[in-house]
Amino acid sequence: MQTKRTTFSNAWLPYALLAPQVIVTLVFFIWPASQALWQSLFRQGDAFGIRPPSFVGLENFAALFRDSHYIDSLQVTLVFSVGTTVLAMSVSLLFAVMVNRMIRSRDTYTTFLVWPYAIAPAIAGVLWWFIFNPSIGILPYVLEGVGYDWNHRSSNTDAMILVILAAAWKQISYNFLFFLAGLQSIPQSLIEAAAIDGASRSKRFWTIILPLLSPVTFFLLVVNIVYAMFDTFGVIHATTEGGPAQATNILVYKVYRDGFVNLNMGSSAAQSVILMAIVIVLTVIQFRYIERRVNY
Amino acid sequence: MASIQMDDLHKVYAGGVKAVTGISLDIADGEMIVLVGPSGCGKSTLLRMVAGLETISGGTLRIGDRVVNNLEPAERDIAMVFQNYALYPHMTVFNNLAYGLKNRKMPKDAIDRRVREAAKMLEIGDYLDRKPRNLSGGQRQRVAMGRALVREPSAFLFDEPLSNLDAKLRVQMRVEIRQLQKRLKTTSLYVTHDQLEALTMADRLVVMNAGRVEQVGTPMEVFDRPATVFVAGFIGSPAMNMIDAAYLRETGSADDLDGLPHGTDLIGVRPDDLLMTPPDGPHLRLAGRVALLEPAGAESHIYVALDDGDQPITVRVQGLPMVEDGARVNLYAALAALHPFDRVSGVRVT
């Protein structure tokens, strides 16, 4: 793309205009990230300053992969991310398809469906905590009526379902908007041509609409995985706090627990470095793909 | 192969907008009917009602001997070519053509045979593995045609299929579509806003305006005897000149205007029928000044401002004009070549 070149009369002005953004990035992103990188190579000194931090190279990383808790957490993260992504994407696609059929009420429904996105993750977590609370919540009460004894404080499965629901619920709004926009960019005449070609409603969806949505779907897939892995701290913290017995202790929550609760800074830093590597890989995939977004 | 019968068709949109008001039309088996009219005249709506893409608010529509008012598009056994071609962008040309056949559960080898036949007929056999985005406009147009004819439907519906092509290709495809239609003898309904396309392609053309039919007839009937002022102005290019009969009487230029039917107060005359020399027999004479010369290759258009007249009139002559810009000219038209109209109703006086 050709952009217009602007010439500044004062040589320092462009740098001054860029400075705020650069400073924010340096202070809040680059500095902590490099700190984590540095710290991940050290063993924590003791609290009294008698034994200084000692350089251990990659020992923190090696220790992590020997630690069964960490491998468990990886597995939990995998289940949680896949569950959250699949649930958030399928439900939002369903909503988008349904709202796209509306004519006059479309904007109203869109507004309502976007609201959850405006709610802070911790608040969303608390809402779900109330709804699912084994003693005062409405859902366990209903489930008990059908013979299911809900208790996410003792059941690993219940706890996982709860955090997946809470995390997916928040992401549905975001996905919904993208899917709706994607649906609206499909020319109506394609659907009409398919109808004349004898494709039933569901056949049209699977053979025409879904393939044409694939760029949006892939973009959302990456965004949702990143969300589930890194942005769900608030949801976990407000509902299960990683329990019961580490059943919902996803990687990003474990970083916090090990670092700030258990004060094992070296290991925590190494874990966040691994997370950083994962997010870099995902971002690269995403950008590579967006560059040639149109696959047909 | 089937006839199409429209009986008093109406379309009223939610909100009360009337797009089509009372259209009745019998289309014979194998006939090519062209719906022509300006934007918003309801011609596309009518076509989409036949296709089943718009609901029918009133009246009866028959394809063959079935009433199809409430049938799904797929059940009507029609095929449609869209203005933007509506090719499936994620499918190869082969799959674009095969899609409709697959949906009808046709055996694979039969699909293959039919697709290759159609592709051969349209000369797109070399592109069967390509995706639509790798095709030129003309090739896409052919694929869209192929998708319609591979199904061997009882009727083709065309919704301004040539309007996205450049002028040269448009003429070429116009000829090809017409030849194909004549060969296959498939009943066709063709929508266009281009009067030349309408005149050249139609067995019969239907001129529409504001949701109504203005005139139905063969191209020459419609051209030679336009039924209304609207048709007279829409069909033929440059458009027919309209001259107030009162003006002619005042300027006394008519030899014998009384020869025209009683009640004529608006007179239409085609640019070709205005002559620079007086013809034999009764004629009218107009005097004016050349306002603009417009050479257009094999022919030229002369715009003449009539003395005391309020609008310029157009004259078409072969070759280069023999007059100078700004020169005084006399124009003549045989009375037999005039089109008499009633100004208020806009209807031809007979």
**Which CATH number belongs to the domain containing residue A177 in this structure?**
1.10.3720.10
CA gap A154, A151 in Å, rounded: 6
Judge contact between A20 and A14, C-beta under 8 A: no
Strands B241-244 and B266-269, by their bridges, are: antiparallel
Judge contact between B174 and B162, C-beta under 8 A: yes
Q: With a threshold of 0.95, tell me whether the complex ipTM lies above it.
A: no
Mean pLDDT, residues A35-55: 75
pLDDT at B254: 61
CB contact under 8 Å between B100 and A196, yes or no, is yes
Domain assignment present for A247: yes
Mean pLDDT, residues A50-64: 76
Quote the tokens at residue B319: 């070759």
DSSP E strands, chain A: 42-43, 54-55
Average pLDDT of chain B is 90
**Nearest by CB: B84 against A187, A196, A198:** A187
Task: Report the amino acid identity of residue B125.
Answer: G
A9-23, A251-265, B136-150, B333-347: least confidently modelled range: A251-265
Domain assignment present for A35: no
Judge contact between A132 and A191, C-beta under 8 A: no
**Nearest by CB: A196 against B78, B83, B88:** B78
Domain assignment present for A3: no
Chain A residues in contact with B133 by the CB 8 A cut-off are 296
CA gap B97, B143 in Å, rounded: 7
Mean pLDDT, residues A193-221: 90
pLDDT at B342: 92
Domain assignment present for A25: no
Name the pLDDT band for B350 (thresholds 50, 70, 90). confident
pLDDT at A294 over 60: no
Domain assignment present for A58: no
A23-27, B66-70, B317-321: least confidently modelled range: B317-321
| Helices marked H in chain B | 43-51, 93-103, 108-121, 137-149, 167-184, 195-201, 219-224, 229-234, 245-251
Domain assignment present for A206: yes
Chain B residue with Cα closest to A189: B86
Mean pLDDT, residues A85-106: 91
pLDDT at A219: 85
pLDDT at A292: 57
Name the pLDDT band for B348 (thresholds 50, 70, 90). very high
CB contact under 8 Å between B86 and A190, yes or no, is yes
* B310 touches A at CB < 8 Å: no
Judge contact between B331 and B273, C-beta under 8 A: no
Expressed as residue numbers, the domain containing A272 is 75-295
Query: Taking a contact as any Cβ pair under 8 Å apart, which residues of chain B between 42 and 61 contact chain A?
Result: 51-53
Domain assignment present for A196: yes
Domain assignment present for A155: yes
pLDDT at B80: 94
pLDDT at B15 over 90: no
pLDDT at A1: 47
Number of domains in chain A: 1
pLDDT at A2 over 60: no
pLDDT at B258: 72
pLDDT at A205: 93
Higher pLDDT, A260 or B184: B184
pLDDT at A290 over 70: no
A91-100, A240-249, B228-237, B262-271: least confidently modelled range: A240-249
Residue pointed to by tokens 């639509």: B132
Report the percent of chain A where pLDDT is more than 90: 23
Query: Taking a contact as any Cβ pair under 8 Å apart, which residues of chain B between 127 and 146 contact chain A?
Result: 131, 133
* A189 touches B at CB < 8 Å: yes
